[in-house]
Every structure is written in structure tokens, then in C-alpha cells.
Amino acid sequence: MLIVICGVTASGKSGLALEIAQRLNSVIISADSRQIYREFNIGTAKPTVAEQKLVPHYQIDICDPTEVLTLAEYQQQTQQLIANYKSSIPLLVGGTGLYLDSITKGLKIPRVSPQPELRSQLSSLGQAQIYPWLVQVDSIAARKIHPNDQFRTLRALEVFYATGTPISAQQGENPPNYPILQIGLDCEVASLDQRIATRAKQMIKLGLVEEVAYLCQKYGEQLPLLNTLGYAEIKQYLAGELNLEQAIAQIVTHTRQFAKRQRTWFKKNQQINWFDNTSPDLVEQVWQRIKDFIAATATYRAI
């Protein structure tokens, strides 16, 4: 069995997961595409050392910032972690929709690692030239990829040239054979906006500016991770392009935009059981749903 706790950024997933994991005497597996990287702590809202001592956490701090963990690698590692917990129910927790789908839907992912030289060559030709190539070699994939989407176009061509097989023929779903309960946290936009603003200010108090300065010095300002949400804005502040108040305002704005995209992604999933994260008895509501899930699963297995 598996329990998923998902939702947009700043919705309270981590806090709820800690409560539930302790009641289940279980573990938390992160489904956050940035928390896998060491030293990126404050800006990714990574669970603290104290929180990680309360409940064992996995898929956190497993890569150096200069490394790349592919979706296929994340999926394989996480599937193995879940398989290892037969006597308890692990919690898969996060807001990276693709990470969650790779597990809950069993996405079939081409096992092709990034090909920097090939990507560079294709990129230099320009999207207007390479997209028609994709249409020729994989018309099915091309119909799903916008003509201006260079990232996905490059990936599709990369897979084709590396394997000789269209990416569309290597994709699909193979859902796991164990029961999954998906819990989603949601709230009114105004309430979420306030939570986002509060968290941005809290990150500054916790030392986000110092964290970014240290990472820039250690890895260089061109490190791709330093161009992601929270880090890019503070990097601009350190470069004198923004004052701190402006940087915080941009973090809030960009986080709200990111949350909107996450909400759109999650709302397409009809398997998610939604709960209002502002409810005073949220934990008890979710706990009751989990107990019902466990009971129903036990009844099903007995038949």
C-alpha cells in the first residue's frame, strides 16, 4: 500500500505528513524535484534536521547540486523504497506532479540519459528547424508537443537518435498493483497567497540570503539550480539588481504563479481526495480517511 500527500507549494503537506507518519509508524518519501539536492535547504523548504529525526525521510539530499537525477532514476529508486516497506505504509509526499505520476501511474520512461553534445547541436539549429524533424520521425509525439516547446522537442529527438525508436513508442503507463490512497491539500487562493507571503519572509529570516551567497561562491552563479524559484531572485539581490524588498516580492509573485500551475496539474487527477488545509480538524479528517482506506484494503484482500 501507499499513501500520497500532495498539493501546491506552501499548502502544508510536510506538516501533515509528519503527523500521519508518526501515527502509522512509517516513513516519508519525498516527491520534490529540488529537495533531492544537497545544500539547497531553505529555499526548497526542506524538512529540518529535527523533523527528519522524528520520521525517517528518503529521497532527500541524494545528489550533489552539480549532478542530474533523471526522472527514470527517481522512479526506479522510489519504487524500490516502496517495495522494501511491506509491514508499514510509506508516505509519498510532495508537489512535483511528474515525480508523483511516475509512481502512482507507473509512467513508462525512456531510459535515456541527457546527451549534452547532441542537445547542443540540435539547439544551435533552432526550434524552427528541429520541430519539423520531430514531425517526420515521431508524428505522434509532435502532436502532443507545442511547436515552440524546445525542451520537449529536444528530449523527443534525443530519445529517438539515442535509441532509434520514437519516444511515443516508449511511453505509456503501467500502474502498480498495490492500493494507493491519494490525499490532496487545497485552500482558497487568498489564503494560499497569504501562506506564500508568510513563508517567503520566514525563509529570509532563516537565512536564505546567506544560503544563496554560499552556494554562488561554492558552485558559481551559473549553476542551473540557482536559477530556480527563490534562488534566482536572491541572486539578483546579491548582484545589486533588486533590493531585498523587491526580491521578496518577486519570490511571492513567482511562487503564486508556480502554485497556479501546480493546481492545474493536480486538478486533472480524479484519484485525489481533497481536504481543506484550513480546517481545524484537518489531521483527524485525513486520519479517518486513511483508516477507512486501510480497512477497505484489508476487506478486499480477504475476499
Strand 91-94 relative to strand 272-276: parallel, antiparallel, unpaired? unpaired
Among 170, 186, 208, which residue terminates a domain? Answer: 170
Looking at the structure of the chain, the number of domains it has is 2
Residues 120 and 54 in one domain: no
Return left, alpha or beta for 69; rule: phi > 0 is left, psi -120 to 50 is alpha, else beta: beta
- Which of 129, 154, 170 lies at the terminal end of a domain, its last residue? 170
Whether residues 24 and 134 share a domain: the answer is: no
- Domain enclosing residue 158, as ranges: 116-170
22: cell is: 508518526
- Residues 93 and 153 grouped into a single domain: no
- Are residues 58 and 6 part of one domain? yes
- Say if residue 191 is exposed, middle or buried (CB neighbours under 10 Å; 0-12, 13-18, 19+): middle
Q: What is the pLDDT along the chain (303 residues), one digit of tens a residue?
A: 999 999 999 999 999 999 999 999 999 999 999 999 999 999 999 999 999 999 999 999 999 999 989 899 999 999 999 998 877 899 999 999 999 999 999 998 887 777 888 889 998 999 999 999 999 999 999 998 999 998 889 989 998 988 888 988 888 888 999 999 999 999 899 999 999 999 999 999 999 999 999 999 999 999 999 999 999 999 999 999 999 999 999 999 999 999 999 999 999 999 999 999 999 999 999 999 999 999 988 754 544
Helix (H) or strand (E) holding 94: strand 91-94
Do 82 and 120 have their domain in common?
no
Residue 62: CATH number of its domain: 3.40.50.300
Cα angle for residues 219, 223, 225 (degrees, 5° grid): 115
Q: What is the pLDDT of residue 303?
A: 42
Domain boundary among 146, 170, 194: 170
In this structure, the answer to whether residues 186 and 89 fall within a common structural domain is yes
Q: Is the pTM of this model over 0.85?
A: yes
Hunting for cell 527517481 — which residue is that? Answer: 74
DSSP-assigned letters across all residues of 255-278: HHHHHHHHHHHHHT-TTEEEEETT
User: Do residues 191 and 249 share a domain?
Assistant: yes
What residues contact 235, with CB distance under 8 A and at least 6 apart? 212, 216, 221, 226, 227
Q: What is the reported pLDDT for 302?
A: 44
Tell me the HSE value of 35 on the side-chain side, using a 13 A CA sphere: 22
The enclosing domain of 121 has a CATH number of: 1.10.20.140
Same domain, 95 and 206: yes
If asked whether residues 145 and 178 sit together in one domain, one would say no
Query: Is the same domain home to 91 and 134?
Result: no
Would you state the pLDDT for residue 277? 94
Indicate the helix (H) or strand (E) that contains 7.
Answer: strand 2-7
Same domain, 159 and 246: no
The answer to whether residues 52 and 86 belong to one domain is yes
Sign, Cα dihedral of 120, 121, 125, 131: negative
Q: What pLDDT is recorded for position 34?
A: 96
